A = this chain, B = another copy of it.
């Protein structure tokens, strides 16, 4: 197994365990629903140790919802599909924690808004054309809605089908808004 020798290494390892426990609890119950005690119990640790490691529950939350940066060269829509996963059966824990609290915790709302605004800007720049911002925002918000409906609400029509099927079925339709003029003739 991986039993680290040095004291600092052991401490870092429990810090990581606490962080992962926090992401799970935040992802399941949200910022307010998850308690320091429940996080500590999941990590097999005393509640006060959680505070000693991360300063406060809110500081821990801020770290727990950090999304991975977009790797250069990735296609923008593809990265969004990875983070707001529509491919796999399960969401990354930090995404799950962020989305779960994004409607009730102001820090999470702001983090999600910043993330999506950046994604919209990248997508609009790549697509170009008239109304590029609006069409990019449509694509992004639709992916967000799909993620919520599939992974959090578990709608009947979305929960049962496979991730790849969703991608091959849905992606062309979603990205269609980027290439066409969505405004109808008046």
Enumerate chain B residues within 8 angstroms of A149, measured Cβ to Cβ.
116, 137, 140-141, 144
The CA-CA distance from A184 to B175 in the complex, in Å, is 12
A39 part of interface (Cβ distance < 8 Å): no
Interchain CB contact under 8 A, B116 and A134: no
The CA-CA distance from A157 to B173 in the complex, in Å, is 20
Count of identical protomers in the assembly: 2
Provide the main secondary structure of the chain A interface. helix
Which residues of A line the B interface, CB within 8 A? Answer: 29-30, 32-33, 99-104, 109, 112-113, 116-117, 120, 124, 131, 133-134, 136-138, 140-146, 148-150, 152-158, 161, 168-170, 172-173, 177, 182-184
Shortest Cβ-Cβ A-B pairs, 4 listed: A145-B145, A137-B157, A141-B149, A142-B142
Please give the distance in Å from A185's CB to the nearest CB on chain B.
10
Please give the distance in Å from A151's CB to the nearest CB on chain B.
10
